Structure 1
Amino acid sequence: MNYRLPTDVSPTHYDLTLLTDLTLHKFRGTVEVALKVVTDTSKIVLNVAELHLSDASVTVAGEEEAFVPVSQAIDSIDQRATFVYPCTFTAGSSLKLFIAFEGKLNESLIGYYEGTWEDGGQKKFYTVTQFEPTAARRAFPCWDEPSCKATFEMSMVSASDTVNLFNTPHQSFEYLESSFKSPISGKTRPIRVYANPSSIHQAKYTLGVTAKVLPVYEQVFDIEYPLPKLDTLVIEDMDAYAMENWGLITGRASHYLLDPNASNIQQKQAIVNIQFHEVAHMWFGNITTMEWWTYLYLNEGFATLMGELIIPGSGYLSTICVRIFISSFPRGFPEWNLDAAFIALHINDAMLLDNKLSSHPVEVDCPDANKINQIFDALSYSKAASVLRMLANHVGVDAFLKGVSVYLKSNLYGNSVTHDLWKGIEEATGFDSSNFMDAYISKPGFPVIKVTESEGIIHIVQARFLQKGTIDDTNTIWNIPLNLLTVDSDGKSSINKVVLKERSSFYAVNTEQLFKLNAGTFGYYRVMYTPERFRRIAIEAAKANSVLNTGDRLGLVQDAFALAGAQLMSLSDALELLTIFKDVRDYYVWSSISTALSNLINIWWEHAEVIDLLNEFRRILFKPIVSEIGYTYSADEDPDTSLLRTCAVINASQAKDEEVVNELRQRFKQYQATRDNSLIPEELQGPIYTSAVEFGGEEEYLAIKRIVDDPKTPTEKLAAIGAMCSVADRQSITSTIHYMTTEARDQDVPHFVLELMKNPKIKREFVAHFKENYDVLYEKFKDGFSISGLVQVFLSPLSCCQYLTSS
């Protein structure tokens, strides 16, 4: 079956009028599409879903007669409308297609949908669009494919007491405003953030980072932002975290708002990561668009790399860009150590999906538009970003960015495929990036390199790494940048950027001295040393003035536990590695340690004696950090210390350290008695609320439920939801599930599910509830991004224990 629309006609321009009726929860409109006839045809086929069409006439340029179809068919499965006309339109002619349509506003969180907000205790409605990947067809009839780019003129009609926002400027309701000056043209453009009037003051940080990053993107890509403004609309009902509509970004309140009096580094980082990602899409996705969903990574992989690492991690940028950026942010984002954050999140997440036989290539064949949602995963985002980061490190970041600029300029306002990217980078660098990157982009999986030693020589063998071990994939040989770090007898270190291009090879190395492969953890692969070499490297990495950095430490921890999970290393050796790092105070190292131990607990959750031992180990590791840095946050403290404090308190309380739990409970009791929350910093709302409920009673549970109903900030709501889900007694468990199914917003249901599945007292019962109610959940979330995540969250705790035979 042909899943792509016919190419007999091609749209060039839309004139769209849309009338919204919030009282009747309906919308109707008309669209007139200018078409270029490519081949002779009497049919016009386009996308439409859940709309009623009342007319579909066509006029030929230069003629007055309007042709009406002799037949009209709607295919609800393939979401297409087919119109057959009484004449043949000849190639090269121009048409105007007119269609009138109407649809219902629902709470589906896709297409043109309806949301709610509270205004003085009164429930009010708003509408918003979510078109990616294939939902524009739910708002108006169109050619809903990425290669069918066209220009638009739009008129939005609504009640006089409402406001319409679109891609172009409009004066309207509650907003914060700033501006940025283009370093290319000198033009000044307005930047606005719109939000609920009661929370607009919490959008100040989002406004600031948006205005400041735009000139950096222009400078790096050497392409001016082309629209007359950039707005961000913060909303309460959204399936995705955010959406990069050109000129009008939409995003969840929980990921865009920040209490202006809080020093919450995690929330600041979340805002920067998401907003920089979405602003990157103004170039990667809107200015230059992938030709088809096969190349989704050209949008998402680049937006992840640029928005979450290269641009905010200004250590990556050339001198002029650093000057622009640091002048905007006096403290400077380099203090956030975003390279370590990237390793901790994106490389590990990608490999956890990519280590399965069911993995798919980054460049994945995706013929059926109805299945596109399945590839919005860690491979299209995190793996793509990780292997592009690897390439950037190998050729040099400045040269890489120059190649990206060439790529964008060569495909300005057009569509692109993988070859276009390699062509741009090769033109800028002279490096054969196509050959170097082919296996990482076009093949599933990733390699592990096994390192064995003899005097003065190391032998390296590559194989495909899998969750259950390794296989010799004879069809795939990866080009592996070894980044071999060695230290001479004087203690001086150097890095050799040699590339392993064969199945195996030998390298001369002084094995009496320190050496480490994948220095800085830039490569997308695992490294398997002997246990003795692992230990020697870890001991060196734990030293205060080590030549190894945070990225190296992270790589060691992640590799060790991945190898233990695949039964290629003993779990006891992996756990010993953690004790070597007990005096290290890098947050991201401890974040990875926390993740590793949490994964073990999730595997052994029904074995109380094992959980008790793991919790004792957690207390030994994390309690000294709590004792050392305490519970008090300061606006001028080092971000790493702030993040480490939160991590340590969470782990110590989850491990049921009596002193830490009592401290957290006392803070909540004071809040209950006085309504003074000064002892509940935003960063510790989660562990404080959870400890209050888990070790409290009905009074604490009801207090937390009131916070869920009326939170001061979106982050407080998420913390309170987590606490609601940590209950132990039957009545409260039933109450939480009932609240989730009858009162919670749809966008919050996945968060309830995630938190409930962390509760060992309810896991099996909740899985049964999920199975019994799957049809209802599927119907509610089937067309968005949430359903696959819900299934994974429900089923993953019931998997077999992968460490049983390696402990």
Structure 2
Amino acid sequence: MGKGFYISKTFGIVGIVLAAGALATITALPVVYSQEKSKNNEGKFTDPTMAPSNEPWDQWRLPQTLSPQTYNVTLWPRLQPDATGLYIFTGLSSVVFRCVEKTNLILIHSNKLNMTKHPTLLGLGSKPAPTIESIVMHTKTQYMAIHLKEELTAGESYELYTEFLGELSDDLGGFYRSEYYENGVKKVVATTQMQATDARKAFPCFDEPAMKAIFHITLYHDPATVALSNSVVKDEVNVTVDDTLVTRTTFAPTEVMSTYLLAFIVSDFVFIEQNMDNLQIRIFARQEAINAGQGEYALSVTGPILKLFEKYYNVPYPLPKSDQIALPDFNTGAMENWGLITYRETALLYDEEISSNENKERIITVISHELAHQWFGNLVTVRWWNDLWLNEGFATYVEYLGADEAEPDWNIKDLIVLNDVHKVFAIDALASSHPLLSKEEEIQRPEQISEMFDMISYSKGASVLRMLSDFLTEKVFTQGLQTYLDHFKFSNTVYTDLWEHLQKAVDSSGTTLPRSVQAIMDRWVLQMGFPVVTINTATGQITQEHFLLDPDTKPDRPSEFNYEWFVPISWTKKETEQNIHWLLQKTDLSDQMKTSGDEWVLANINVTGYYRVNYDNENWQRLLTVLKTSRQSIPVINREQIIDDAFNLAKAGIIETTLALRTTLFLDSETEYMPWESALDNLDYFYLMFDRTEVYGPMQKYIGNQVKYLFEYFTTLTNWEDVPPGHTDQYNQVNALRVACSTGLEACTTLVKTWFQQWMENPNVNPIKANLRSAVYCSAIAAGGEKEWNFAWEMFEKATVASEKDKLRAALACATEPWLLNRYLKYTLDPEKIRKQDATSTIVSIASNVVGQPLAWDFVRANWEYIFNEYGGKSYIFPNLISGVTNRFSTPFELEQLIQFRDDYAHIGFGSGTLAIQQSIERTTANIKWVEKNQQAVLEWFRNPS
């Protein structure tokens, strides 16, 4: 479906020669990794220790002198350890590149690869290639620098050939191994995770997103296994190597694509499939999981989502197949490799009997997110990682559209407010936040690139694009998007390219905007943070201010826009129709927003705008009255918004904390999920600040009284045996049970203890409903002791469904006996007990327990060097560990400890968690101020709520 590729006669002959020689060459490569390390072409390869310089090999970005065109890559992963116990892969690669500017230096990325033969260079034009003078390996910048005796000629093409050996390690990056047991037999999978900078760990390559090329992949593997890559299989033959039968699988050439989207996998997985308009759709997983039907749901929703995106983008799906595979070990949730999407098992596999409604939603949204990338990100790719927000923000926004297409009864599009808009506000309200777009020079090193994979890029990106789509209208937005994709397919862009195409759509539609698309959006993209809009309904005055969690702090970055935004304010008065008012400066006036009598104003309807809203005190009082007397007058999303805005305005000292608490009074008769979830999310902060103080008792009593109605509502509706019909009703049933039990409601604790005891008496029959298991497991383990914990651990070890293992793993952190939690923390250091992919999230779960938090904090500090080396560096999820173990900090002593931690371990470093350290210090400072100011008033309010 994409553009074809023309192979010159010269290159065609070279390719044939390489293919014929590949088998002989790859089999001749050494098998014992440790031996190769000592034999690595002594005298030809060096690793300099010179100080940094202005030389190109000391820079983090490739020079623009060479442009790759096509690769031929042959790899042979060994799924059995060698004589030293190591797993290795051997390979050979040739890359054809064009010389853009004359140079006597070839810089190509190579990381942790041992060259087993001196690279060779071949000229493919009218002139022979220059002679290689020397080759230097630069481990810091991850380059192989090939110095030439003469210069390459601009406009000419050349081919670089390399042979190499690498370790198929368990580090979850590059070409790595994943392990699992099936029927007591250990199985090994060779798989990949290239994003962002790890393709260079699989073969030498120009490893930057703008360096697109065509890839020809060949894999050697055991005949009992199957090989997968981005493209369809072109040829598959069995050959004998050293008296061993192996299969050689050759794949069709890829489309023009970036290195980070490459994937190749060897496993004994099986699949289910369907065909949709000649498109092959397959779901791969462990045989046990496929046989149990765990891939059926993913298969059923993939087709409809792909169809929607073909229509949405107005571009046919660009590839002949769509493979999706569930891996036992995977660092992130999923990866959008073009044509071969990789997932954690929990993000792809669904079991009708065991998986919950929440598991089902995660699967459909993650699938939708990754399929959205097949066009936006893969077909059209950002030029450099500083524009990552455009890729990930867009996919996060449209994942809700795809999920809504597959499950139209869920009303899932509204949940972006809870899951993304209001969650990212917490980060973006810090002075140490960062803009969506960073300067290219600020994002250079691999760990800096990994830091970009944060909530700002994903959730804020999604939020501002949703706002843009709303004020442009979806019709105009998609029109501009479609011309953008068509114009830039198979190439790279910067964010302003999208603004230009959206502006053309605006102009052709006759839509009127107060400023150009770029002028409006640059203020949301180039400066961090967001405004709080204050509406005075007595005067009609509207103002905006940069919202900061701690108003005493100053943003780390200056802003050319002085932290002012062009704000599209959607609003209504009492029950009138919705209006739009553009706030284009600090202060404005609107006679329409003046009120009289019992009129009230509500702004940011359905929370389509990326801003918070404050009102004059009289309007706040009127809204509180409406919530208590006729809450249906206010949309469900805005009932959620009122709670979230009020609590966060109070945290910033803009309104009284008691006013925020009063927004929860109406919950004693509320049954909708979004307001309840918002209240519980915000009250979690009160637990973090006060569960070690005298506030805890009165707070528990109040929340217990508020949730009692909800618990009784679901008791009447379901008797705790039936599943509520609505998607979000199922979530609220879980909330009712969890909060009722945690606040000591006897009817709830009796239910939970009974169910868990029944399971312990008959481990083969779990009586607990799938949706309720997370809440029940946690409550039962918290109320129990060693016996309950050991039983849950045994069930965790036996579980074969990934989502069930996740529930039990999280629940084990709910224990209240310190020695059990300390034992569990030690388990995170043992990959045989807790997989590496789950280690940091397990530590965070323990830290979220008031008993476990100091234990986790001590544990992290005591084991920092190991934790950093194993999970830090470039891991996208590493910042969550730092914020998770420090979330509860709210005393000067804890702040002192945090600063000491930063200073003591600076020599080791914090990798992708560097920014998270600074944000934790800022958050702790704000917590200290807030607790000192509010503790007494909060205590008195919970004692006498009104």
- The superposition leaves residues 192-251 of structure 1 with CA deviations (integer Å, 9 ceiling, x where unpaired) of 110011112212111111122101100111111111100111011011010000000100
Equivalent residue for 1:626, pick from 711, 728, 753: 711
Write the distance in 1 (CA, Å) between the matches of 2:932 and 2:466: 35
Write the distance in 2 (CA, Å) between the matches of 1:240 and 1:672: 33
- The superposition leaves residues 444-476 of structure 1 with CA deviations (integer Å, 9 ceiling, x where unpaired) of 11101122232xx41111110001138898713
CA offset at residue 128 of structure 1?
0.9
1:7 aligned partner: 64
Checking the alignment, whether the CA contact within 8 Å between 2:825 and 2:843 is kept in structure 1 is: no
Write the distance in 1 (CA, Å) between the matches of 2:420 and 2:733: 22
| 1:469 is the counterpart of 2:551 | yes
CA offset at residue 545 of structure 1?
7.3
Write the distance in 2 (CA, Å) between the matches of 1:494 and 1:264: 39
Per the alignment, in what secondary structure is the counterpart of residue 547 of structure 2? strand
Per the alignment, in what secondary structure is the counterpart of residue 792 of structure 1? helix
| 1:21 is the counterpart of 2:71 | no
Equivalent residue for 2:311, pick from 208, 219, 232: 219
2:875 aligned partner: 784
CA offset at residue 423 of structure 1?
0.9
Equivalent residue for 2:541, pick from 442, 453, 459: 459
Equivalent residue for 1:369, pick from 442, 445, 449: 445
1:485 aligned partner: 572
Q: How does 1:726-741 map to 2 (within 5 A)?
A: 726-741=814-829
| 1:640 is the counterpart of 2:640 | no
Checking the alignment, whether the CA contact within 8 Å between 2:129 and 2:158 is kept in structure 1 is: no
2:747 aligned partner: 659
Change (3 A) 1:633 1:412: farther
Per the alignment, in what secondary structure is the counterpart of residue 317 of structure 2? coil
Equivalent residue for 1:506, pick from 589, 598, 608: 589
1:31 aligned partner: 93
2:662 aligned partner: 576
CA offset at residue 542 of structure 1?
5.8
Write the distance in 1 (CA, Å) between the matches of 2:316 and 2:707: 48
Moved more, 239-248 or 551-560: 551-560
1:342 aligned partner: 416
CA offset at residue 62 of structure 1?
4.0
Q: What is the root-mean-square deviation in Å for CA atoms of aligned residues?
A: 2.0
Percent of residue pairs bearing the same amino acid type: 26
CA offset at residue 685 of structure 1?
1.1
- The superposition leaves residues 486-520 of structure 1 with CA deviations (integer Å, 9 ceiling, x where unpaired) of 24xxx5x1122120001101101341222211111
1:721 aligned partner: 809
Change (3 A) 1:70 1:231: same
Checking the alignment, whether the CA contact within 8 Å between 2:298 and 2:349 is kept in structure 1 is: yes
Write the distance in 1 (CA, Å) between the matches of 2:864 and 2:713: 47
| 1:612 is the counterpart of 2:694 | no
Write the distance in 2 (CA, Å) between the matches of 1:64 and 1:41: 15
Checking the alignment, whether the CA contact within 8 Å between 1:194 and 1:234 is kept in structure 2 is: yes
Per the alignment, in what secondary structure is the counterpart of residue 296 of structure 1? helix
Q: State the one-letter code of the partner of 1:657.
A: L
- The superposition leaves residues 74-133 of structure 1 with CA deviations (integer Å, 9 ceiling, x where unpaired) of 111111111011221110111111111110011111111111011111111111100111
Write the distance in 2 (CA, Å) between the matches of 1:543 and 1:112: 60
- The superposition leaves residues 783-806 of structure 1 with CA deviations (integer Å, 9 ceiling, x where unpaired) of 322322211212222233434414
Moved more, 677-686 or 14-23: 677-686
Q: Which has the larger radius of gyration?
A: 2
| 1:106 is the counterpart of 2:169 | yes
2:281 aligned partner: 191
Checking the alignment, whether the CA contact within 8 Å between 2:313 and 2:482 is kept in structure 1 is: yes
Checking the alignment, whether the CA contact within 8 Å between 1:571 and 1:803 is kept in structure 2 is: no
Q: How does 1:511-526 map to 2 (within 5 A)?
A: 511-512=595-596, 513-526=599-612
Checking the alignment, whether the CA contact within 8 Å between 1:263 and 1:634 is kept in structure 2 is: no
Write the distance in 2 (CA, Å) between the matches of 1:203 and 1:538: 47
CA offset at residue 592 of structure 1?
1.0
Write the distance in 2 (CA, Å) between the matches of 1:730 and 1:510: 57
- The superposition leaves residues 738-772 of structure 1 with CA deviations (integer Å, 9 ceiling, x where unpaired) of 22222211011122112101221131122111101
Change (3 A) 1:161 1:312: closer
2:247 aligned partner: none
Write the distance in 2 (CA, Å) between the matches of 1:157 and 1:579: 65
Equivalent residue for 1:269, pick from 345, 361, 377: 361
Q: State the one-letter code of the partner of 2:568.
A: P
1:687 aligned partner: 775
Checking the alignment, whether the CA contact within 8 Å between 2:841 and 2:881 is kept in structure 1 is: no
Checking the alignment, whether the CA contact within 8 Å between 2:821 and 2:846 is kept in structure 1 is: no
Checking the alignment, whether the CA contact within 8 Å between 2:113 and 2:203 is kept in structure 1 is: yes
Q: State the one-letter code of the partner of 2:280.
A: P
Aligned residues: 776
Equivalent residue for 2:850, pick from 751, 754, 760: 760
Per the alignment, in what secondary structure is the counterpart of residue 259 of structure 1? coil
Write the distance in 2 (CA, Å) between the matches of 1:407 and 1:682: 44
1:185 aligned partner: none
For normalisation by structure 2, the TM-score amounts to 0.80
1:805 aligned partner: 933
- The superposition leaves residues 232-272 of structure 1 with CA deviations (integer Å, 9 ceiling, x where unpaired) of 11011011010000000100012222112357321111111
Equivalent residue for 1:408, pick from 469, 477, 485: 485
1:321 aligned partner: none
Moved more, 718-727 or 32-41: 718-727
CA offset at residue 484 of structure 1?
2.0
- The superposition leaves residues 561-616 of structure 1 with CA deviations (integer Å, 9 ceiling, x where unpaired) of 11111111111111111112332222121111110111210122321x21222222
Write the distance in 2 (CA, Å) between the matches of 1:118 and 1:623: 45
Q: How does 1:428-439 map to 2 (within 5 A)?
A: 428-430=505-507, 431=513, 432-439=516-523
Change (3 A) 1:729 1:173: closer
Checking the alignment, whether the CA contact within 8 Å between 1:191 and 1:231 is kept in structure 2 is: yes
Q: State the one-letter code of the partner of 1:768.
A: D
CA offset at residue 421 of structure 1?
0.5
Per the alignment, in what secondary structure is the counterpart of residue 312 of structure 1? helix
Per the alignment, in what secondary structure is the counterpart of residue 91 of structure 1? coil
Q: How does 1:288-327 map to 2 (within 5 A)?
A: 288-307=380-399, 309-313=400-404, 325=405
Checking the alignment, whether the CA contact within 8 Å between 2:389 and 2:436 is kept in structure 1 is: yes
For normalisation by structure 1, the TM-score amounts to 0.93
- The superposition leaves residues 22-55 of structure 1 with CA deviations (integer Å, 9 ceiling, x where unpaired) of 2131011111111111011111101111111233
Moved more, 66-75 or 680-689: 66-75
Equivalent residue for 1:497, pick from 570, 580, 583: 580
CA offset at residue 66 of structure 1?
6.1
Checking the alignment, whether the CA contact within 8 Å between 1:340 and 1:554 is kept in structure 2 is: no
| 1:43 is the counterpart of 2:105 | yes
1:317 aligned partner: none
Checking the alignment, whether the CA contact within 8 Å between 1:58 and 1:98 is kept in structure 2 is: yes
Checking the alignment, whether the CA contact within 8 Å between 1:56 and 1:68 is kept in structure 2 is: no
Q: Unaligned 5+ residue runs, structure 1?
A: 182-187, 314-324
Q: State the one-letter code of the partner of 2:195.
A: E
1:388 aligned partner: 465
Write the distance in 2 (CA, Å) between the matches of 1:624 and 1:656: 14
Moved more, 366-375 or 138-147: 366-375
Per the alignment, in what secondary structure is the counterpart of residue 481 of structure 1? strand
Write the distance in 2 (CA, Å) between the matches of 1:39 and 1:389: 42
Moved more, 757-766 or 62-71: 62-71
1:709 aligned partner: 797
Per the alignment, in what secondary structure is the counterpart of residue 794 of structure 2? helix
Write the distance in 2 (CA, Å) between the matches of 1:545 and 1:532: 18
CA offset at residue 657 of structure 1?
2.5
Checking the alignment, whether the CA contact within 8 Å between 2:847 and 2:855 is kept in structure 1 is: no
Equivalent residue for 2:301, pick from 209, 225, 237: 209
1:318 aligned partner: none
Checking the alignment, whether the CA contact within 8 Å between 1:33 and 1:98 is kept in structure 2 is: yes
1:793 aligned partner: 884
Checking the alignment, whether the CA contact within 8 Å between 2:818 and 2:851 is kept in structure 1 is: no
2:528 aligned partner: 444
Write the distance in 1 (CA, Å) between the matches of 2:749 and 2:800: 24
Write the distance in 2 (CA, Å) between the matches of 1:152 and 1:704: 47
CA offset at residue 73 of structure 1?
1.0
